[in-house]
Structures are given as C-alpha cells and as structure tokens.
A and B are shown apart, each in its own frame.
Chain A
C-alpha cells in the first residue's frame, strides 16, 4: 500500500524568507501524481501545486515550487518570499494511476510565518 510521510509537524519562517517543507512517499507504481494542498484555519483545502511523475521538470506556481526526486521518492515544497497569508497547514498527497483516484495524504505540516 502507498504511504505518504511528512516528517515535520511544525515549521517556522520569517516573512520574506524561504522555507522548504518535506514529503516522502512509498509506492511501487511508476505513474502517479503528487499534490500539495494548503489548509488555513478556515479548513478550506486549497490546491497549491501538482506534479505528474512522468514529467522530469519540477512544477512551479509563482512563489511555490517543488523539488521532485522520483528515485528518492521525495516531493518537497519550497515557498519563496514567505507572506503572512502563507501561514497554514500544508498537506502532501499522492494519487496513483491504479488506485481509483483517491488521494493518500501525509500527516500535515503546520507553517508559522513570523512578521
């Protein structure tokens, strides 16, 4: 069975600085999708970024980028120029090509942004 691990329960970053959130996963599949979702205190789940495993190029969305290392099964999220509005819980999620589309989530990392 596939698993997703986020080993950092909490992270802290100074406003305008850069922070990296870690995510590792375990799978025997070669084709899959990885996501980072942001969950602010409102509990709304907001898609941050998506990566297809067959793409070698790392996905980027404005200040958010990933470091996807397929061989190491690692999928870290880098947030540049951190803003106060980035404070939230971040979840890494896996979707395999053979698991009917359900997302398998990591435990989450709470990001605090200090002014």
Chain B
C-alpha cells in the first residue's frame, strides 16, 4: 500500500496480559522500524527489520518484548505480561533504504491497567 498501516488503533490490557500489535509497511519498502512514544512524548527505538531479518534490536527489552516480520504477513510486535510502564503509543515506520526517510504509521495506543 501507499501508507504504513497499523492495527489496532487502541488496545487495552490488564497488567500481566499479552498485547500484540501489527504493522504493514509501504509496498516496496525493505526496512521496518518500531518506536515507543511514552507519555512525556519521548521516542524510544525498539527494533528494526530488513525484510524478514532482524536488523537492529538494541532497543528491545528482551524479557517481554518480541517482534517478527514474516514474508507476506504484517510485521508484529508482541508484549508478554504487560506492565503499567508499557502504556505508550507504538509507532511503526518503513523506508526503502536504511537511511532513507522513514514514513510512519498512525500508531497503536496501548493502555495497560
């Protein structure tokens, strides 16, 4: 597609529950990035993919967060056993090349109660 699509728009989970977020990059873009924007508006890089391969996972909290980009499927970001501090907006962005402009999806707002 012409835009990065993210689903769902909103997600509410009780503490300890699982959350799964999806991202469909722009067609033809090889790179996918996940960012977390917390309430103070700070952006934190989580993970990036080059096609289905993990490219940079230095921002991922390894214990509870995982992500995949499989061929012919939306990319996903999964949080096992959510915590209150996971409440944030999660953005997916895609780019054609690694240092090209990143185009952002509308974000998924996760609220952990």
Interface residues, chain A, CB within 8 Å of chain B? Answer: 33, 35, 37, 42-47, 50, 89, 91, 95, 97, 100-105, 107-108
Contact = CB atoms under 8 A, between A and B. Distances in A.
A27 to B, nearest CB: 14
B103 A33 contact: no
Nearest to B57: A100
B33 interface: yes
Contact of A44 (B55, B59, B106): B106
Contact of A45 (B42, B48, B91, B98): B91
Task: Give the 7 A-B residue pairs with the shortest CB-CB distance, closest first.
Answer: A45-B104, A100-B56, A105-B43, A101-B98, A102-B45, A108-B41, A43-B107
Contact of A103 (B35, B106, B109): B35
B41 A101 contact: no
Contacts of A100: 48, 55-56, 98
A46 B91 CA distance: 12
Interface residues on B, range: 20 to 34
A73 B24 CA distance: 35
B22 interface: no
Interface in B27-70: 31, 33, 35, 37, 41-43, 45, 48, 55-56, 59
Contacts of A37: 104
A101 B89 contact: no
B33 A101 contact: yes
Contacts of A101: 31, 33, 48, 55-56, 95, 98-99, 102
B72 interface: no
A50 B101 contact: yes
12 contacts: A44-B107, A91-B43, A95-B99, A97-B99, A101-B48, A101-B56, A101-B102, A102-B56, A102-B59, A103-B35, A105-B43, A108-B41
